[in-house]
Chains A and B, each alone.
Chain A
């Protein structure tokens, strides 16, 4: 690996009006290595990648490809130089086959006839190159593939274009555990094949698993550079400028746990069967499991959005039956949805309006929007201040905020109601490290104040780090219970069922 780097960025600077997005950033990636680029949201990762891929022109510095300086005026220039970027949003046509997608715009033809067989064969060759050939049929429609396989098609498309440098922008954001593992194997195969991979992430687990080198960006500058992969704590410290020790809040002390606040007996519906569990006041109860195991369905059932059809539920000792979220909310249950954009935010409305939405919804229709039983504008502002929501103004449209700040604003929606049970679904998906820590601590604060917290998350380390007790779900049922400090392996064995785990 002493050879010329496949790609080198030297002293890159990029200024936008009023802000320096990048300042003297250098990054080197050799063929056959994975270079992890980490940093919080807004640290400048995406700007750097846009410079590398020709979307932005750098104000300072230069890009060197295979030893010679290059200038990309357009993304196509970068593509020709062998640099491919796989963004979080895929660029595939869903109703076309894998082969058609890979040859999109450069179809092989002879005498005006498409050479279907040749394109299919080439597709298979490229897929085999990183071991995806068995999993993906060149004739399959993209829409029929799972997200991980779609991502592999996207990778294959880049390789078919002779990409020497492959940039992956948070590739696991939309993947579940099993799909992540597939992706990691793909990255391993790419490395073995001699591709230089720049891998953007803020998940430490992925850095440890994949990277050869690590570069940490913070506020548009290099905060740290590691030639070998260090302990995750060192990376996180460089990312956030503080120690990881207080990342998770402490677990509940025995005297902090109160009476049972929520109990489900024999709950079931189309997605769930025989659900039995109890949640105590002051407790954070984690639900682990693979995608589709029924964890979200359970949250929605408790919340009345996908009601239980059988069984019984008690809330603070009283028998309840919720057929609609409004009933659950009135009784003191809140739910923070996992799909923030799809289920949580009213994007065009202000931060304040998003925060006040639920308390307004419980007020009378013709009453003033400025104050209600639970909140008024002043108190909502104070709540947003306390959670350190960063916005130019709380009258700003919420779509302009970062994911973490959006999440805090939605959380404010529930905090103002002081719910007895709050269900968090994927509470930290796609938000930065500082906001994550903030949310873990908020969860603990709520629990200390006497609420029962249900935490549903696909991020296993976070469930282990934040929950006092963990229930594992599989195929719509609760299959195991773990205490605090359980091992990831033990939980995964329960989540997947022993047979698959052994394979």
Chain B
């Protein structure tokens, strides 16, 4: 009870303020310095712009995933949705560059449907989001295989790959500007605004914090939760379109992305089980994760090491978040 005395002391207030500068930004800065020391070329536009281009898909995915995490859930279906977008696009496009204009809206339609189904299943059938989206992940993977007959066809036309691959050259000051970065900045702005500047964003926080209290305060809990899943799915579609641009067509293009996105969001300080999170910090988390992988690449460590590191990062990030939370109060 009288612990409340403690919380109003100047000292306590001070220590509570400290973590408000999100540590992810320091970590990211340190990693970038480390990369530059390893490879001075990284400081050139070609170096960091390619880095940003490579990080953009994950950053967008993490920002979308954050919506579901803050609302108190998980979205594991985004990885296979990415695969479905890439494989499905190649099937629908069928090497016809003029089909891009309608294929992309179709993909967003699929994303919308997936998000709606995820949300409806969680809200009305009361299936925990971890299980519901795990089921969706397996289902979508199956669809991707069926659609492509197990052997995805060739490649995507340049008109489709434009977003993920092309760099706009001869830009003053920075020389080159990847289209993927423009997409990231645009999506980042929209998602940041929606999460941190609107009624919707505040309500996503509230339902992740205490769904019962939110409901009794008049929050349309189901509607808000469904929207969170839709945002996550739509961000996966964007990610899929970008990845199709530089990764090519295969049935495992999205594999593992769901966990990378969750890791990135948690690195950015998002509270697992909901109630707290920041879009810019989740994007910084995705850049951090990509920077770590880049560094591991420079050290010529093999792919399995990458997985080990990613697993450890997820555990350490969550443990640190829990520790921070404990230290600053209940």
* Docked pose: A274 CA to B246 CA in angstroms: 69
CB contacts (< 8 Å) of A342 on chain B: these are 210, 212-213
Interface assignment of B35: CB less than 8 Å from any CB of chain A: no
* Main SS class of interface, B: helix
By CB atoms of chain A within 10 A, which of B4, B205, B216 has the most?
B216
User: B7-15, B22-30, B51-59: which one contacts chain A?
Assistant: B7-15
Which A residues are in CB contact (< 8 Å) with B200?
365-366
CB–CB B330/A399 < 8 A: yes
Which residues of chain B have C-beta atoms less than 8 A from A358's C-beta? 217-218
A365 with B330, Cβ < 8 A, contacts A42-B2, A46-B2, A353-B205 known: no
Interface residue B161 (Cβ < 8 Å from any Cβ of A): no
Residues of B in contact, count (CB < 8 Å): 42
Provide the B196-208 mask, 1 if CB < 8 A to any CB of A, else 0: 0111111101100
Looking at the complex, which one of A21, A337, A344 makes contact with B2 (CB distance below 8 Å)?
A21
> Which of A251-259, A367-375, A473-481 lies at the binding interface?
A367-375
Chain A residues 2 to 36 lying within 8 A of chain B, measured CB to CB, are 16-19, 21
Q: Give Cα A197–Cα B103 distance, bound, in whole angstroms.
A: 77
Instruction: Let me know if A349 is at the binding interface, CB within 8 A.
Output: yes
Question: Residue B214 at the A interface, CB < 8 A?
Answer: yes
Q: A49 CB to closest chain B CB, in angstroms?
A: 9
Closest partner residue, chain B, to A19 (CB atom): B9
Tell me if B275 and A399 are in contact (CB < 8 A).
no
Q: Output the least CB separation between A222 and chain B (Å).
A: 15
Interface centre among A43, A357, A401, by most chain B C-beta atoms within 10 angstroms, is A357
Which one of B213, B224, B330 lies within 8 Å of A346 (CB-CB)? B213
B241 within 8 A of A: no
A42 with B199: in contact, given A349-B205, A399-B330 (CB under 8 Å)?
Answer: no
Interface residues of B in 1-47 (CB under 8 A from A): 1-13, 16
Could you tell me the distance between the alpha carbons of A169 and B1 in the complex, rounded to whole angstroms?
10
Q: Are the C-beta atoms of A357 and B7 separated by less than 8 Å?
A: no
Q: Which residue of B lies closest to A326 (CB)?
A: B218
Chain B: which residue is nearest A335 at the CB level? B216
CA distance A46 to B2 in the complex (A): 6
Given A45-B2, A357-B217, A372:B9 Cβ within 8 A: no
B199-A360 in contact (CB<8A): yes
Q: A residues 318-339 with Cβ under 8 Å of B?
A: 325-326, 329, 335, 337
B11 to chain A, nearest CB (A): 4
> Closest residue of chain A to B9, judged by CB?
A18
What distance in Å separates the Cβ of A365 from its nearest Cβ neighbour in chain B? Answer: 4
Considering only CB atoms, which chain B residue lies closest to A400 in the complex?
B7
Q: B296 interface residue, CB < 8 Å from A? A: no
A429 and B13 alpha carbons, distance in the complex (Å): 27
Give the CA-CA distance A119 to B330 in the complex, in Å.
37
- Contact in complex: B218, A362 (CB < 8 Å): yes
Tell me if A356 counts as interface (CB < 8 A to partner B).
yes
Evaluate contact between B213 and A343: CB separation under 8 angstroms: yes
Interface membership of A492, Cβ < 8 A: no
A16 touches B6 (CB 8 A): yes
Q: Of residues 421 to 447 in A, which have CB atoms within 8 Å of B's CB atoms?
A: none
Q: Which of B5, B12, B198 contacts A367 (CB 8 A)?
A: B198
CB of B276 within 8 A of chain A?
yes
Q: Name the distance in Å between B97's Cβ and chain A's nearest Cβ.
A: 35
- Chain B residue with Cβ nearest A401: B4
Is A497's CB within 8 Å of the partner chain B? no
Within 8 A of B (CB), among A363-401: 363-369, 372, 390, 392, 399-401
Whether A348 contacts B209 in the complex (CB less than 8 A), given A41-B2, A358-B218, comes out as: yes
B205 and A346 form a contact (CB under 8 A):
yes
**Are A360 and B202 touching (Cβ within 8 A)?**
yes
Q: Residue on A with the closest CB to B16?
A: A400
Asked if A238 CB lies within 8 Å of chain B CBs, one says: no
Is A305 interfacial (CB 8 A cutoff)? yes
Q: Is the CB–CB distance between A361 and B205 below 8 Å? A: no
A208 within 8 A of B: no
Beta-carbon contacts under 8 Å, B243-293 to A: 271, 275-276
Q: Are B227 and A361 in contact (CB under 8 A)?
A: no
Kindly identify which residue among B198, B206, B209, B220 contacts A368, using a CB–CB cutoff of 8 Å.
B198
In Å, the complex CA distance between A392 and B209 comes to: 22
Is A316 an interface residue, CB under 8 A from the partner?
Answer: no
**B219 CB–A CB distance under 8 Å:** yes
Partner among B2, B5, B206 whose Cβ is within 8 Å of the Cβ of A357: B206
A17 touches B11 (CB 8 A): yes
A368-B218 contact, Cβ under 8 Å, with A342-B213, A345-B210: no
A47: Cβ under 8 A from any B Cβ: yes
A305 touching B216 in the complex, CB below 8 Å, given contacts A21-B2, A21-B5: yes
Judging by beta carbons under 8 Å apart, are A365 and B227 in contact? yes
Q: Which residues of B contact A363 (CB under 8 A)?
A: 199
Let me know if B2 and A325 touch, CB within 8 A. no
CB distance from A405 to the nearest CB of B (A): 9
Taking the complex as formed, is A145 at the interface, i.e. its CB lies under 8 A from any CB of chain B? Answer: no
Q: Is residue A402 within 8 Å, beta carbon to beta carbon, of the partner chain?
A: yes
Q: Which residues of A contact B212 (CB under 8 A)?
A: 342-343
* B206 and A44 contact, CB distance less than 8 A: no
13 extra A-B contacts, CB within 8 A, seeds A19-B8, A358-B218: A17-B12, A18-B12, A305-B215, A329-B218, A344-B216, A349-B205, A357-B219, A365-B203, A366-B199, A367-B198, A390-B8, A392-B13, A401-B4
| Minimum-distance CB pairs A-B, first 7 | A17-B11, A346-B209, A18-B9, A365-B200, A360-B199, A46-B2, A329-B218
Instruction: Sample 8 A-B pairs with CB under 8 A, ordered by A number.
Output: A19-B9, A45-B1, A303-B216, A325-B216, A343-B216, A356-B202, A361-B220, A363-B199
